[in-house]
Amino acid sequence: MKGIVILTADERAYKQGHVIETGGFVHPPTRKDITYIVHVRKTTEKEIKRWMNVVGYRLVVVVEKLPALSEATKESVIIDKSLLVGKPNHKRQIDALLRWSDRKRVHQAFEGMPIPLALSFLRENKKDDMRLWRLLADVTFRLPDEYAEAIMVYGIKPSRQQVKWPKKKKAKDERPSHFRASDKYWRKIINHDAEERNYLRAGNLQSLPTGIKRRREKVSQWL
């Protein structure tokens, strides 16, 4: 009888009996009395199918995200509930924090809300509340989260205004090192000069300035 492959984001429930735990596929999971727990950042259906044919008892593959699987493969493995949980939606908690007048009810709804996410909404919606920010400055990331939660829940005056969502910050465009720090026109030079763009590509930079593709361009030369 063949063993079973289990995909999970949380291996704790499978640490029973004889266990071998590794980072990456180090040992062939062929023993019939051992649970092999393997931590990998990601895996593929092809790799899973290969191990399905040799696993002796139980192979637990710990991944951050469930890989794309065919229906046939899904029926042949166990997918732990930790990989089936959707991305949390905190819209209701934010709405409660900023708009609900019953603060005891807000306290119940706010449970589990990530503090950094809540702060990002407060910067957009309560940036002028100096009293609130002074209180938060005394406790945030210094004392347990319960203190910051209590200040947010009971220190905010609710408003019926529409909630403003935080704006995503644009990635900063780094100046290539061969331009002087005082050069204000380096971006215009790159945008209008194909030879300059090819020079950057030839430099094997880890990242090119925004909008510059890796493929070299043909440059017309005057005779």
> Which position has the higher pLDDT, 203 or 147?
147
* Full DSSP string of 133-162: HHHHHHHTTTS-HHHHHHHHHHH-----SP
Mean pLDDT of 179-184: 73
Q: Which of 159, 135, 163, 162 is nearest to 149 (CA)?
A: 135
Distance CA 110, CA 93 (A): 5
Question: Could you tell me the pLDDT band of residue 180, with boundaries at 50, 70 and 90?
Answer: confident
pTM over 0.85, yes/no: no
Cα(10)–Cα(91) distance, integer angstroms: 26
First to last CA, the chain: 76
Instruction: Please report, as a single letter, which amino acid is at residue 179.
Output: F
Separation between Cα atoms, residue 122 and residue 157, nearest integer Å: 12
Count, residues in the chain? 223
Upper half-sphere CA count for residue 212 (Cβ side, 13 Å): 27
Say if residues 48 and 42 touch (Cβ distance below 8 Å): no
Share of the chain above pLDDT 90, in %: 36
Residue 151 above 90 pLDDT? yes
Across 135-139, 166-170, 175-179, 198-202, the highest mean pLDDT is recorded for 135-139
Q: Residues 5-50: pLDDT tens digits?
A: 999 988 888 998 999 998 888 888 999 899 999 998 889 999 999 9
Backbone φ and ψ of 17, nearest 5°: 75, -150
Which residues pair with residue 38 across a beta bridge? 22, 61
pLDDT of residue 215: 72
Give yes or no for a contact between 26 and 1, defined as CB atoms under 8 angstroms apart. no
pLDDT of the residue at 169: 65
In degrees and rounded to multiples of 5, residue 121 shows phi and psi of: -75, -35
Q: Which residues contact residue 158 at a Cβ distance below 8 angstroms, ignoring those fewer than 6 apart? A: 98, 99, 100, 101, 103
Helix (H) or strand (E) holding 73: helix 71-76
Residue 118 contacts residue 136 (beta carbons within 8 Å): no
Give per-residue pLDDT as tens, 74-84: 888 999 988 88
pLDDT of residue 140: 85
